Amino acid sequence: MMKFFFLFLLPFLVQGGPNDGSILLHNDTTMILTAVVQASDGSFLGQFSIQPGQQRNFITNMYNTHYEVPGTPNISLTPYTVTWQCPSEGIFSLCTNVSPGAYVKATICEKGTHFCAPKKKIEKKAPASHLQKVQ
């Protein structure tokens, strides 16, 4: 039994450690939404277009690099902020204080309109000039 644990289960337990900042993004709406993930200091971490009913796993590796730059602050990446954007330039919802390992659904986020306006139609205008072929 112990051989089974060390051969099969231990690698899975070791793989997901405390240095993996992963969140599961779920678009539970009927529209294509773009999920924008930001760190706690506002820096951009990633952007994903997610189809209706689909899920996307966002993973950030937070291992130390042992590279020190004098004078830089020690800022945490977490908690994350997830912004769900509409295809029509609006914000559907906004989740703040998202912890690593969280399951983030677009309709559960506390801030935002939870509505996407229809895309604006581009009107076709007549050209500024007409060129005619001479036969």
pLDDT for position 112? 83
Strands 55-61 and 44-50: unpaired
Tell me the percentage of the chain whose pLDDT exceeds 90.
13
Which residue carries 């689909």 as its tokens? 54
pLDDT, tens only, 76-97? 677 889 999 988 878 899 999 8
Cα–Cα–Cα angle for 50, 38, 46, nearest 5°?
45
CA dist., res. 26 & res. 105, Å (int)? 5
Those residues whose C-beta lies under 8 Å from the C-beta of residue 34, and which sit 6 or more positions away, are: 47, 48, 49, 50, 84, 85, 87
pLDDT for position 51? 92
pLDDT, tens only, 40-84? 888 888 888 999 999 988 887 655 555 565 655 566 677 889 999
pTM: 0.66
Cα–Cα–Cα angle for 33, 39, 44, nearest 5°?
60
pLDDT of 7 > 70? The answer is no
Greater confidence (15 vs 58) lies with 58
pLDDT for position 42? 83
Greater confidence (20 vs 18) lies with 20
Tell which residue, 47, 51, 75, 48, has the closest CA to residue 62: 75
pLDDT of 110 > 50? The answer is yes
